[in-house]
Structures are given as C-alpha cells and as structure tokens.
Amino acid sequence: METFHLAKSVPKPHPQSPPAATFPRRALTAWFRRAARVLPWRCTRDPYAILVSEIMLQQTQVATVIPFYERWLARFPDFSSLAAAEENDVLSLWQGLGYYSRARNLHRAAKTVVSTHGGAMPRDPAHIRALPGIGRYTAGAVASFAFDLPEPLVDANVARVLARLLDLHTPIDSTAGQAALWAEAISLAPKRGARIFNSALMELGALICTPRAPRCGECPIRKSCAASANGTAESLPRKKPRRTRAELAEHCAWTMHHRRILLEQQTGKRWRGLWKLPALPAAPHTTPLLTLEYPFTHHRVTLSVFAQRAPSPLHENLAWHALATLADLPLTAPHRRAIEKLCSCRQQEAG
C-alpha cells in the first residue's frame, strides 16, 4: 500500500481502500454471528421498534437504553399509540435519557407516519429520511435493519472502523472526513444481507475496534485494515479540536408552600414542554440555597437556587406541583437534581 510522507501540519490523505469485491464480508459476518451481543432491537424486524431503538441510542449507551426501550414499547407499542399520546406523557416517559428533542422528533415522526403513510413505516429510504428528525444514518439503519435494503450507514462505531480501515487522517467530523466515510460505506454496502453486514460493522466498532486499545489481533478484517498495517490504529480516528466551553450562570427560585413547589414550564427551543425551577432575571443579594454545575452543548452552566416568595399573580407558565407528583412530571435533569438535593437537605434538617 502506498505511503504518503507529508509535513505534520498538513493532514495526511487517506489511501485507497481495498476493492469492495475483496473485502472479507464472510469473515466479518461469521464473527458477528459468533460474538454479537443479544440486544432486544436485534430480535425484531418491526420498523417502529427499530426506529425507537435508533433514536434512543443516539448519544446514549446501550446499557442505559435497554430498560427505557422496553418501557417505551410497553406504553407505546406502535406508531398509532405514540401519535395519539400527549406530548407531556411522551416527555415524562423519556425522562432520564436526556436530549428531549429526540422524543419530540420521534413523536412528530409517528404522527407523520399515521397521517401520511397509514400507520406503516414506508420502505423507500427517501421517504423514511423525509420523516421529522430522521437523518441519513437513521434512515439507513431502519431501511437495512427492518427491510434488509442495501443502504449504508455511518454511526460513531462504524466511523471508527472505516477511518481505521482507510487509515484516514482527515478529521471524521469535518465535511471532507464525512464524505470519505460515507463513500466507503456506500462502496461496501452489499446488495444482499445488509441487515447482518451493517450490524456486524457496528458491533465490530463496539467490541473490537474500540476507541482506546483496539483489539486488532482479534479483528476478522485486520488484513484489509490500512491503519493496522501502518501501525496507526490507536491514533485514529481524528477529530477537529474541541471548542472551549463558555461559562454561563443560571439563577432560579425555590418557592415551597404546603409540600408544593412552584415550577415553570419551558416554551423555548431548549427545553420546550419541560418543567424547571422558575428563572430569576439576576442573582439576589443573598446566599444561594444550592449551587451546582452541569454541561450544556458547548457551555458549562452554574445553577444557583435562591429562596423566593411566589409572585402575585402567577404568570401563565408558572404552576404549583405537589412534591409527591414530581416523579411523573417531565423535569429537566439538572433541575430535578437540584430539587432532590434541596428536599433531602430539608428532610435532614427537620429530622
């Protein structure tokens, strides 16, 4: 294989991968049949259940998703039941998974499938991708896993496998890097058996071609891997430098009355439909009852909670909620944590 010697300041071009016709698909799928984990979404061809799993697995680990997935299907077993649900119930069941826009998009997609496709997921990948919140990867995953169509897919695990297969030194989160990965995925997608092949690529990235200390000696496609041949596997894939996180301050009110707490429902894009402690325009000139930090996209937020009286009259987004009902209320994760800590402190003081 040709080796390129370039200055360190210039990204190294990726060499051509082995022809797709010579890629060891049989070795990969044979390994998958032996080593694959038993996961609930691999035991179904139901496109709805597969879509639910794919949406939940975005930015969330498998072990975390499994109980949520099972509870979700028990409550909303198909597109029709989800489409008919109230958004508050959808968000409440999603609590603990975070990134609530995923739940809203799934809800909107279900409504579209019911209204436009008679309650059945369309088979055409272009129609799947046209559903709300469905991108190129998710459309390919549903098309291949549910319908066994020869659609490529590139998730985090597959991206790592392909970057090492190509010895790709271009950042995989760049436009050029994404283009190279998708071009390789398209070239490798088999005309038959895409469901098993794509599952095998994903599982290889999860179990063998791991982010750190890849187990190259156990890899069924090692002979086709340029990074393994060049000794660069552990340094790949590359990503663009991370942004510096900006610091933000959030000031909120703690208002209790007869075991009820005053909360504010969000209407903006960030946490729309969720409840949180009411926002204050600025920090009061008192010591906060509680301060905690949490990350949000490229920010680190410091949440300070201050004891406050209820405003009179209450504006339309404010409402009293009994503490006993908070478990079923869709609360933002950091504010739920703040409420639980403050309630725990008050119980200890009372005791």
pLDDT tens column, 36-60: 999 999 999 999 999 999 999 998 9
% of the chain with per-residue pLDDT over 90: 80
Q: Which two tokens stand for residue 33?
A: 């049949």
Is residue 345 predicted with pLDDT exceeding 50? yes
Short-list 88, 112, 111, 110, CA closest to 100? 88
Q: Are 276 and 100 in contact (CB under 8 A)?
A: no
Domain ranges of the chain: 21-153+188-206, 246-350
First-residue to last-residue Cα distance in the chain: 72
Per residue in 55-72, pLDDT (tens digit) is 999 989 999 999 999 999
Distance CA(65)–CA(300), nearest Å, equals: 25
Name the CATH superfamily, with its identifier, for domain 246-350: Nucleoside Triphosphate Pyrophosphohydrolase (3.90.79.10)
**Res. 333: pLDDT tops 80:** yes
Annotation marks residue 234 as catalytic: no
The verdict on pTM exceeding 0.75 is yes
In this structure, of 153-162, 265-274, 281-290, the range with the lowest mean pLDDT score is: 265-274
Distance (Å, whole) CA 102 – CA 214: 31
pLDDT of residue 299: 87
pLDDT confidence tier of residue 1, bands split at 50, 70 and 90: very low
Bridge partners, residue 347, by sequence: none
Can you give the pLDDT at residue 271?
Answer: 82
Whether residue 103 has pLDDT greater than 80: yes
Per-residue pLDDT, 283: 86
pLDDT given at position 6? 35
Partner residues linked to 290 by β-bridges: 305
**Least reliable range by pLDDT among 17-26, 101-110, 129-138:** 17-26
Q: What is the pLDDT of residues 126-164, one digit of tens each?
A: 999 999 999 999 999 999 999 999 999 999 999 999 999
Q: Where does the pLDDT of residue 270 fall: very low under 50, low under 70, confident under 90, or very high at 90 and above?
A: confident
Q: How confident is the model at residue 81 (pLDDT cuts 50, 70, 90)?
A: very high
Residue of 136 and 3 predicted with greater confidence: 136
Annotated catalytic residue, options 2, 54, 340, 349: 54
Mean pLDDT for the chain overall: 91
High-pLDDT (> 70) share of the chain, %: 93
What type of residue is 338?
A
Return the closest-CA partner of residue 57 out of 99, 87, 86, 95: 99
Residue 343 has pLDDT above 50, yes or no: yes
pLDDT above 50: residue 5: no
Q: Is 275 left (phi over 0), alpha (psi -120 to 50) or beta?
A: beta
At residue 245, does pLDDT exceed 90?
no
DSSP 23: S
Which CATH superfamily includes the segment(s) 21-153+188-206? Hypothetical protein; domain 2 (1.10.340.30)
